[in-house]
Amino acid sequence: MGDLVPATAKPKEGPSSIQCPMLTSTNYTVWAIRMTLCLKVHKVWETIEEETTDVEKNNMATALLVQSIPETLVLQVGTLDTAKKVWEAIKTRYMGVERVKEARLQTLMTDFDRLKMKDSETIDDFVGMISEIASKSA
């Protein structure tokens, strides 16, 4: 087990220990919230909100964004010259995916609402259809 540190102990000076979240194909919304906080903690969020001429802050924000995305996405946004452009490129790519998911979920909810057991179906058949819709929606 690790050593216990009293609550009154001062944190060590040096680089921040805050880690950026990793973006996956399914967590864009949560990633964006966490990344916003991470960029605010590092005092570089304004480079995303409004394109700034502060090269140091832009480089820090870009570095934080790039370390939190998959390699394949790094290759796609690597040529962009500002953190704001990188953020917008990521947002555009993943918000489209979110809209497709929402539309698909709406379709599945409609299918569920219309689902009725036919006289010729067994309970197992009907349960199978419900399970299929539940699996697809998950």
What pLDDT band is residue 3 in, cutting at 50, 70 and 90?
Answer: low
* Average of per-residue pLDDT across 15-37: 85
* Type of residue at 81: D
pLDDT tens-digit map of 32-52: 999 999 999 999 999 999 878
What pLDDT sits at residue 11? 46
What pLDDT sits at residue 85? 94
Count of CB atoms within 10 A of residue 31's CB?
20
Write down the mean pLDDT value for the chain: 85
Structure tokens that stand for 96 in this block: 């489209």
What pLDDT band is residue 15 in, cutting at 50, 70 and 90?
Answer: low
Q: CA gyration radius for the chain? A: 23
- The residue with tokens 């102990």 is 9
Alpha-carbon distance of 49 to 36, in angstroms, equals: 10
pLDDT tens-digit map of 87-123: 999 998 887 767 777 888 899 999 999 999 999 999 9
What pLDDT sits at residue 29? 85
* Average of per-residue pLDDT across 66-83: 93
Whether residue 87 contacts residue 118, with contact meaning beta carbons closer than 8 Å, is answered with no
Question: pTM of the entire structure?
Answer: 0.60
